[in-house]
Amino acid sequence: MKKTLLTLAASLLLPLAATHAVEVENLRCEYLENPLGIDVAKPRLSWKLETGDLKPERGIKQTAYQVLVASTPELLAKDQGDLWDSGKVVGDRSIQVEYSGKPLVSGAECHWKVRVWEEKPETGNLKPEKEMVTAWSKAAQFVTGCSWNG
């Protein structure tokens, strides 16, 4: 009987959890999706937090982020940022985060992804949920253009 009740409760709550899962999406470099020929030495990266139902999550607060940038998609898939691993950066910034890794060369393919730590605010008498980290975003990329004077 208890097992049946637990199974029923889990089946009812699972869709709610999936609906409110926060994901990092809409990755942009210099306001563009997967741009070719970026002509700045330190491109600016941006992302958005969204829920599984594709609506921006209200009441979710980004408390930190981590950006990985790799020279190959294979390294990025292994969570290795050979060009830049920002580490956990405390803050809510998600727009125009400046690349701060190894100097970029002309024609470099840069593969990147982001994860964020987030906190849901108080609701009623409940305290905020403990800070949680999202899954890594899907990979994005940018390619540097011709040489520039940095």
Would 29 be classed as within a structural domain?
A: yes
| Amino acid at site 105 | V
Cα separation, 56 vs 42, whole angstroms:
28
Confidence of residue 15 (pLDDT cuts 50, 70, 90): very low
| Sign of CA pseudo-dihedral 71, 75, 76, 82 | negative
**Domain with 65 in it: what CATH number?**
2.60.40.10
Closest C-alpha to 46, from 36, 57, 33, 37: 33
Whole-angstrom distance, CA of residue 72 vs CA of residue 54: 29
Say what percent of the chain tops pLDDT 90. 61
Compute the distance between CA of residue 126 and CA of residue 107 in angstroms, rounded to an integer. Answer: 51
pLDDT in tens, 86-129: 999 999 999 999 999 999 999 999 999 999 998 865 555 555 55
Q: d(Cα 55, Cα 72) in Å, to the nearest integer?
A: 31
The total number of structural domains in the chain stands at 1
The order of strands in the sheet holding 22-29 is: 22-29, 44-51, 97-98
How many other β-carbons are positioned within 10 Å of the β-carbon of residue 4? 8
Model pLDDT, residue 60: 76
Whether residue 139 is contained in a domain is answered as yes
Domain range for residue 86?
Answer: 23-144
Tokens at 50, concatenated:
């969204």
Window from 30-34, 51-55, 99-103, 104-108 with minimum mean pLDDT: 51-55
- Look up the pTM and report it: 0.76
Q: Is 6 within the bounds of a domain?
A: no
In a domain, 13, yes or no: no
DSSP string, 22-53: EEEEEEEETTBSS-EEE--SS-EEEEEEEETT
Task: Reply yes or no on whether the pLDDT at 150 is more than 80.
Answer: no
Q: Which of 115, 116, 119 is nearest to 136 (CA)?
A: 115
* Model confidence pLDDT, tens digit, residues 129-142: 567 899 999 999 99
- d(CA 73, CA 11) in angstroms, rounded, equals 36
Please indicate whether residue 56 or residue 21 has the higher confidence score (pLDDT): 21
Structure confidence at residue 147 (pLDDT): 61
Q: Would you say residue 128 lies in a domain? A: yes
Mean per-residue pLDDT for 73-83?
97
pLDDT single digits (tens) 61-71: 899 999 999 99
